[in-house]
């Protein structure tokens, strides 16, 4: 601009020219809702080629897309498989997007009964209103999945699983589920939040889509909320999932994506160390007076230890245990903790505890909770990066009469 020919108000309102001499070492935050076109013709071309060039951050944003591609790369790491990713506003948005990009009105979703409470609510309260039939079963029951897929084989189906399950940590054989699903033409979606792609990669075991709450381990610092959907099928991801995200407005935002990428840099270091801490604590808890039960996939006598051993490189940083035998025992224990934090999340650098029966799984039928070991005395622990002996010392003092 020539400031001798315009008014000062115009100079204030204009974007200053950025002098770019070298490339930034760290990716910048693209904090812009819109992107500029050099001409109408360029705008027309970009709008026609979507998803592609950038027009509006709800459609796509360079920073958000770069982080989504990084998570997709992690989910197929060690293979020649290609994958595509989207970042959403939350883990629940990721689950909803993953399900709705493969299922329409009249279709069937088959899932497990022992899911995260929020996922259960979504499947019970929202999907039926969209005429998607949700069928929850006990995957441990021999032949149950085959029977239900056979019964509905004439309809379009998808299977949604969460392994390890929240909060009792039961694991499912992902490869076996995917092989059976393929025989019936059903898609498989796996919530990989607890394991992360460092410990487990469902796409390489046959899954079609993976969902994450990036709020948890992927970011790992409790400073952002988000979700991710990763898939191998380009048409599903670039057309169906992207269109659903664009039109429902459940996309991520530039700042949360930037924070997520910052956390991803230490993901492998964090989750492996936290998993080692959790294994050590789980073994010590079994020897501790006042602990009546310990649930952890790494324990050799855990009910689904064989599945975890088959598909996980480490057994994760989540564990659950019963400090006593009643609701009052659990409440007293949690209230006496001094180092561990009572908080309704997981996957952060510090150790966090939650009481599922009165918090995350409050709205799950009590009889179903009991069936899957989610007793009134069960406490869930997300093991952090502290020295494990300090975590154990806090547990011991909270158990002391």
Q: 10 Å Cβ neighbour count for 31?
A: 12
Answering whether pTM is above 0.75, one says yes
| Cβ-Cβ contacts under 8 Å for 198 (sequence gap 6 or more) | 74, 267, 268, 271, 272, 313
In the sheet where 318-322 sits, what is the strand order? Answer: 293-295, 318-322, 379-382, 352-354, 341-342
Sign of CA dihedral 179, 180, 186, 189: negative
* Digit-coded pLDDT (tens) for 296-315: 999 999 999 999 999 999 99
Active site residues: 58, 116, 191, 216
Q: Identify the pLDDT of residue 136.
A: 96
- In the structure, what pLDDT confidence band is assigned to residue 51 with cuts at 50, 70 and 90? very high
Of 308, 310, 279, 304, which is closest to residue 381 (Cα–Cα)?
Answer: 279
Give burial (CB, 10 Å; 0-12/13-18/19+) of 140: middle
What integer best gives the mean pLDDT of the chain?
96
Weakest mean pLDDT among 16-25, 145-154, 302-311, 328-337: 16-25
Q: Which helix (H) or strand (E) holds 389?
A: helix 388-399
- Kindly list the distances between the CA atom of residue 290 and the CA atoms of 301, 329, 395, in Å, as whole numbers in the listed order: 20, 10, 10
For the CA atoms of the chain, what is the radius of gyration?
Answer: 23
User: What does the pLDDT look like over 79-106, one tens digit per residue?
Assistant: 999 999 999 999 999 999 999 999 999 9
Nearest to 194 by CA among 320, 65, 337: 320
List beta partners, residue 88: 227, 251
The dihedral sign for the CA sequence 191, 193, 197, 198:
negative
Full set of structural domains in the chain with CATH? 61-264 (3.40.640.10), 267-399 (3.90.1150.10)
209 DSSP β-pair partners: 189, 231
Q: Stretch 31-56: mean pLDDT, rounded? A: 95
The H-assigned helical ranges of 341-386 are 366-371
Helix (H) or strand (E) holding 151: helix 144-151
Contact 160, 99 (CB under 8 A): yes
């Amino acid at each position: 601009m020539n400031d001798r020919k315009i008014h000062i108000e115009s100079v204030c309102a204009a974007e200053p020219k950025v002098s770019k001499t070298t490339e930034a070492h760290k990716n910048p935050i693209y904090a812009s809702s819109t992107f500029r076109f050099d001409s109408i013709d360029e705008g027309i071309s970009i709008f026609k080629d979507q998803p592609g060039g950038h027009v509006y951050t709800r459609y796509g944003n360079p920073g958000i897309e770069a982080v989504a591609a990084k998570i997709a790369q992690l989910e197929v790491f060690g293979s020649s498989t290609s994958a595509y990713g989207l970042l959403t506003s939350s883990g629940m948005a990721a689950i909803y997007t993953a399900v709705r990009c493969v299922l329409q009105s009249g279709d069937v979703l088959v899932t497990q009964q022992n899911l995260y409470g929020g996922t259960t609510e979504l499947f019970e309260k929202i999907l039926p209103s969209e005429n998607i039939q949700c069928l929850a079963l006990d995957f441990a029951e021999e032949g149950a999945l085959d029977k239900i897929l056979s019964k509905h084989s004439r309809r379009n189906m998808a299977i949604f699983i969460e392994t390890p399950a929240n909060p009792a940590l039961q694991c499912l054989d992902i490869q076996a589920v995917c092989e059976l699903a393929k025989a019936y033409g059903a898609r498989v979606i796996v919530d990989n939040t607890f394991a992360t792609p460092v410990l487990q990669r469902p796409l390489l075991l046959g899954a079609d889509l993976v969902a994450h709450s990036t709020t948890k381990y992927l970011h790992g610092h409790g400073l952002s909320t988000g979700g991710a959907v990763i898939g191998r099928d380009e048409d599903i991801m670039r057309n169906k999932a992207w269109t659903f995200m664009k039109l429902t407005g459940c996309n991520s935002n530039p700042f949360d994506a930037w924070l997520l990428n910052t956390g991803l840099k230490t993901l492998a270091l964090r989750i492996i160390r936290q998993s080692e801490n959790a294994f050590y604590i789980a073994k010590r808890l079994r020897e501790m007076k006042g602990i009546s039960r310990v649930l952890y996939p790494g324990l050799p006598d855990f009910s689904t230890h064989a599945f975890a051993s088959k598909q996980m490189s480490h057994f994760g940083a989540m564990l659950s245990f019963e400090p006593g035998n009643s609701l009052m025992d659990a409440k007293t224990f949690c209230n006496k903790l001094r180092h561990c934090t009572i908080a309704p999340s997981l996957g952060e650098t510090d150790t966090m505890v939650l009481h599922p029966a009165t918090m995350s799984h409050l709205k799950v039928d009590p009889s179903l909770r009991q069936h899957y070991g989610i007793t009134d005395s069960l406490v869930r622990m997300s093991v952090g990066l502290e020295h494990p002996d300090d975590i154990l010392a806090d547990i011991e003092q909270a158990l002391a009469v």
